Amino acid sequence: MQELNFDIITTLIMVAVLFLIIVVRYFIFSGAYYYTTFVLLRKRLISRILDPKPVSVKQIRSEVAYSVLSAVIFAVFGIGTYWLWYKGFTAIYDDLSLYPLWYLPLSIFLVLFVQDTYYYWVHRWMHIPKVYRYFHKVHHNSVQTSVWTSFSFHPLETLLQAVILPLIILWVPLHIYALLVILIIMTISATINHAGVEIYPKGKYGDWVGKMIIGATHHDVHHRKFLFNYGLYFTFWDRVMGTERELSSNDRRPKS
């Protein structure tokens, strides 16, 4: 493989390219998700929309602006992670024969659980009043969330969110395709949880999903009730630590 020169110009170009990819992905996926749930399937999902009021244009503009700023930071960390891999400092591998196939899904779950654990405790720390106004208030300005809220963070909070994955891959063996799956899950989960419409199944065979995996209703309670439901992907730590809020009718739990 030809030696790649990480000089300032090359690095800035790489960051700019990755930034554009992240921003385009944000607009395409968030826009497509909104159009699918609130336009194409609105009649079918009407009982699952958590708040019928439209989100203000002012709020959306703020969310997009902060999300674009977050994309810059994510791009910097992304290229930094690429540099760590290129120099051989990470545990990322591309040969499937190095580990048994059953390790592939296990590694994905392991990384998601570590992320979830890290974020649960960081999230609770960010709700300490003296910390909150500097790190987390920007995200909570969106009391009624939208698809555009998913990456609307203060830069300091974005730094906290961006640092964990590079740290994990220094130690946890992860196939390159598993890493891509994790990045996709991160985007999908963030959008689903903030979109304001519950898409996970309910009823006899569906309630277990909401008991284990965080969805729009669960996270909406956090934005409106503030001191509950801190998890990122799973309800595990909220249940263990007693910070899970029961989803009552007042929290607009979907009926179907």
Coil, strand, or helix at residue 144?
coil
Average pLDDT of the chain, as a whole number:
92
Res 174 pLDDT > 60: yes
| Rounded-to-integer distance, Cα 81 and Cα 75, Å | 10
- The answer to pTM > 0.85 is yes
| Amino acid 248: pLDDT | 56
| Rounded-to-integer distance, Cα 228 and Cα 4, Å | 47
141-168 pLDDT per residue, tens:
999 999 999 999 999 999 999 999 999 9
The amino acid at residue 124 is R
Contact assessment for residue 156 and residue 136, using Cβ atoms and an 8 Å cutoff: no
72-121 pLDDT per residue, tens:
999 999 999 999 999 999 999 999 999 999 999 999 999 999 999 999 99
Q: What is the mean pLDDT of residues 26-31?
A: 97
Res 43 pLDDT > 60: yes
Q: How far apart are the first and last CA of the chain?
A: 55
Burial annotation 9-20 (CB, 10 A radius, 16+ → b, else e): eebeebbeebbe
Torsion of CA 26, 55, 193, 209, to 10 degrees: -140
